[in-house]
């Protein structure tokens, strides 16, 4: 009896293994004919609008008899099951039909957003991973990561930012830490490598920096990007070599975006140069302001690494106001490493790395001093308590600080339809904590009354908001990360 039982199991195993299952795609559907619930024929010419995309692959949904499915909705993922369902009288349904969505939810199958599904027209689906229904404070989210390591290095390889990100209508521009530029069309996922001289410029800087016996050369490169729609210019901040004095500084490159080939030239550099320093602490965020720009400049970590005292006229540790002729004046001072910058209703907000603790969100006012290196809400990396926590009346207090540090990076205000309950919230990205923080200010816009968060599971260096309100994040492992509202969200 036992032998007969084993024999039956073996027959069943070979029967299952020999059953072919052909995944659903436009190619495999070419010979299949069905009809909708309205008796419209579906064939090779119009299958595309009925193919749904989900966390388990492409699917077709059908209206079937109750004897097949009690709720009369059937979801199939292979051609063989589809053809059997059609033979049994099944009618093709729209994959976005409310009954289909409810059925998928009951089965634990989650649909991809239209944006993500469209990207898979030209991007390999195997490069996509999606975390569904990630919990936030006022919205739940689907977070999709797309592997772009074909084009960009990971931060873990040399500690250089993987890429920075800009959006322009239907395109996402990704600018690598070494200077290569990739453009992706949001509507279909087509990717183009943009021709420019930026990579050559960055390579020609011959970066070299030794700090306390550690080689920091690989960390030197691009620090931020900005698409200035006022004059159709792409700006890039980067570490620049001073050939005459054999030292390095922070500079700004610019290129006209109206041509196919982007020809970058140096437009500006700060007034301080060092042979050896930590370029991670160079700041470098740039934003349009009045007729020119605001540029954040860090302290190059000179006070901590070398005990260096920064002078009032040095551009280090400052936020600079740059006019239309690229002349700079000091706007504010006392900054350690300002990593985020945004302007709303003429109010300037900046995020800033503290030492060991004390990542800050500041409102920047002209002529004000923000306390560094005297005051900070943190400690030295050796856990020495040498900073004044209270900024007293001498320095400007942050409107909020994070202790322990979150590895604060970019900030911007949200005001789009995708996440309506986050309208007027300040979005704050983080490197160390791998989260986006959703910050609510009071009516005065000077006091924080709520801080929410959601987990991205990758260091976020930079982000932009697409025309449809979705968030596009630059992940430090070479991932383009798309944050969209989940179907499971509260209406």
Cα-based distances in Å from 323 to 42, 140, 271:
61, 42, 16
The pLDDT tens digits along the chain (491 residues) read 444 444 444 344 334 444 578 999 888 999 999 999 998 999 988 998 898 888 788 899 999 999 999 999 999 999 999 999 999 999 999 887 878 878 887 887 777 888 888 898 899 988 998 888 899 999 999 999 999 999 999 998 888 999 999 999 899 999 999 999 999 999 999 999 999 999 999 999 999 999 989 999 999 999 999 999 999 999 999 999 999 999 999 999 999 999 999 999 999 999 999 999 999 999 999 999 999 999 999 999 999 999 999 999 999 999 999 999 999 999 999 999 999 999 999 999 999 999 999 999 999 999 999 999 999 998 888 888 888 888 878 899 999 999 999 999 999 999 999 999 999 999 999 999 999 999 999 999 999 999 999 999 999 999 999 999 999 999 999 999 999 998 778 77
CB 245 within 8 A of CB 269: no
The Cα 191–Cα 181 span in angstroms is: 11
Read off the pTM: 0.84
Phi, psi of 362 (to 5 degrees): -120, 150
Nearest to 339 by CA among 274, 401, 276, 407: 407
| Structural domains of the chain, with CATH | 21-111 (no CATH), 125-485 (2.120.10.30)
């Amino acid at each position: 009896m036992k032998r007969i039982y084993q024999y039956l199991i073996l027959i069943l195993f070979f029967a299952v293994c020999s059953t072919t299952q052909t995944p659903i795609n436009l190619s495999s559907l070419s010979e299949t004919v069905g009809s909708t619930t309205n008796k419209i024929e579906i064939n090779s010419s119009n299958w595309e609008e009925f193919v749904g995309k989900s966390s388990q692959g492409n699917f077709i949904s059908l209206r079937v008899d109750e004897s097949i499915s009690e709720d009369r909705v059937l979801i199939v993922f292979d051609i063989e099951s589809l053809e059997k369902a059609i033979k049994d009288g099944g009618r093709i349904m729209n994959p976005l039909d409310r009954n289909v969505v409810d059925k998928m939810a009951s089965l634990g199958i989650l649909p991809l957003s239209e944006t993500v599904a469209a990207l898979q027209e030209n991007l390999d689906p195997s490069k996509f991973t999606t975390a569904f229904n990630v919990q936030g404070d006022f919205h739940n989210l689907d977070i999709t990561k797309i592997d772009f390591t074909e084009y960009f290095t990971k931060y873990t390889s040399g500690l250089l930012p993987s890429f920075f990100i800009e959006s322009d209508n239907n395109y996402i521009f990704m600018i690598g830490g070494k200077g290569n530029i990739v453009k992706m069309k949001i509507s279909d996922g087509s990717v183009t490598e943009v021709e420019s001289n930026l990579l050559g410029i960055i390579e020609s800087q011959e970066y070299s920096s030794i700090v306390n016996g550690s080689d920091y050369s690989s960390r030197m490169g691009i620090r931020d990007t900005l698409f200035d729609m006022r004059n159709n210019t792409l700006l890039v901040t980067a570490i620049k070599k001073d050939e005459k004095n054999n030292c390095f500084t922070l500079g700004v490159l610019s290129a006209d975006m109206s041509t196919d080939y982007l020809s970058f030239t140096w437009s500006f550099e700060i007034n301080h140069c060092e042979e050896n320093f930590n370029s991670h602490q160079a700041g470098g965020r740039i934003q349009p302001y009045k007729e020119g720009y605001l540029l954040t400049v860090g302290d190059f970590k000179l006070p901590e690494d070398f005990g260096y005292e920064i002078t009032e006229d040095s551009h280090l540790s400052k936020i600079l106001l740059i006019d239309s002729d690229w002349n700079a004046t000091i706007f504010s001072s006392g900054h350690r490493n300002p990593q985020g910058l945004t302007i709303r209703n003429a109010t300037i907000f900046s995020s800033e790395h503290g030492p060991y603790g004390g990542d800050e969100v500041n409102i920047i006012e002209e002529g004000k001093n923000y306390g560094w290196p005297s005051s900070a809400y943190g400690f030295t990396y050796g856990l020495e308590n040498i900073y004044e926590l209270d900024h007293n009346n001498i320095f400007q207090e942050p409107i909020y600080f994070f202790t322990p540090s979150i590895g604060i990076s970019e900030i911007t205000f949200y005001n789009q339809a995708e996440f309506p309950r986050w309208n007027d919230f300040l979005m704050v990205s983080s490197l160390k904590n791998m989260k986006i923080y959703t910050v609510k200010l009071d009516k005065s816009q000077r006091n924080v009354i709520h801080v929410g968060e959601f987990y991205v599971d990758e260091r976020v260096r930079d982000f932009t908001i697409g025309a449809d309100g979705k968030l596009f994040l630059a992940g430090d492992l070479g991932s383009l990360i798309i944050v969209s509202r989940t179907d499971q969200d509260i209406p």
